[in-house]
Structure 1
């Protein structure tokens, strides 16, 4: 296996270039997938929840966001450096990302 490297901030689309979140797969193995995600004010549509079959470790690299976890009364406020480990089938949704600055996420999906 050869060493692969990169920069999390390189090659990102600029503000206003897309109306939807931007996803970029960085690494994929049989048991894990790493992606970076760029949000500019996007949220999960009202009434929809993310419900994934694998565990997800997610860290907000820069920006600000609010993540609602099903069963919790208030969204979690996230700032740069904050991370969560969401177990498989932990229903969650993004209820706010800062529309004035990019929110850059790094997500590690773990298959067990």
Structure 2
């Protein structure tokens, strides 16, 4: 009956599936980077978009140079928070867990600060 509706049952109740055969990943499984450091990982890359996960620890870049990219950039805060500045605007944006923000292409911006350990984790979707 489940196949009729487009569903499949992969296991019986209590049956153990070999976890090595699953493509299972976790955004929180990496260790926190050193203070004032960050690392990024490309999660998905296609011709029209790229999804990246960035994990940073206590970044303080109020004097950092401005960044300008040729593609749109959509941010989603998964853990912690960060402060973002847009060059053409006077205010700063404080982004917390669940907040998202769209940076238009060719817009100058900088990440001013991120949380200390366990750090800030955010997803970045680049549109080409």
**Higher relative helix content:** 2
Residue 74 of structure 1, CA deviation:
1.9
Q: Does residue 82 of structure 1 match 2:81?
A: no
Residue 95 of structure 1, CA deviation:
0.6
SS for the counterpart of 1:52 is coil
Deviations 1:16-46 (A, max 9, x none): 3x65211111111111111100010124472
Q: 1:92 to 1:61 in 2, by over 3 A?
A: same
Q: CA RMSD in A?
A: 2.0
Work out whether residues 36 and 60 of structure 2, in 8 Å CA contact, stay in contact via their aligned partners in 1: no
Work out whether residues 58 and 115 of structure 2, in 8 Å CA contact, stay in contact via their aligned partners in 1: yes
TM value normalised by structure 2: 0.74
Aligned to 1:21: 38
TM value normalised by structure 1: 0.84
**Higher relative strand content:** 1
Which protein is bigger by CA-based radius of gyration? 2
Q: Does residue 30 of structure 1 match 2:47?
A: yes
Aligned to 2:110: 93
Residue 50 of structure 1, CA deviation:
1.3
Aligned to 2:65: 48
Structure 2: segments with no counterpart, 5+ residues: 1-22
Structure 1: segments with no counterpart, 5+ residues: none
Residue 80 of structure 1, CA deviation:
0.5
Aligned to 1:6: 25
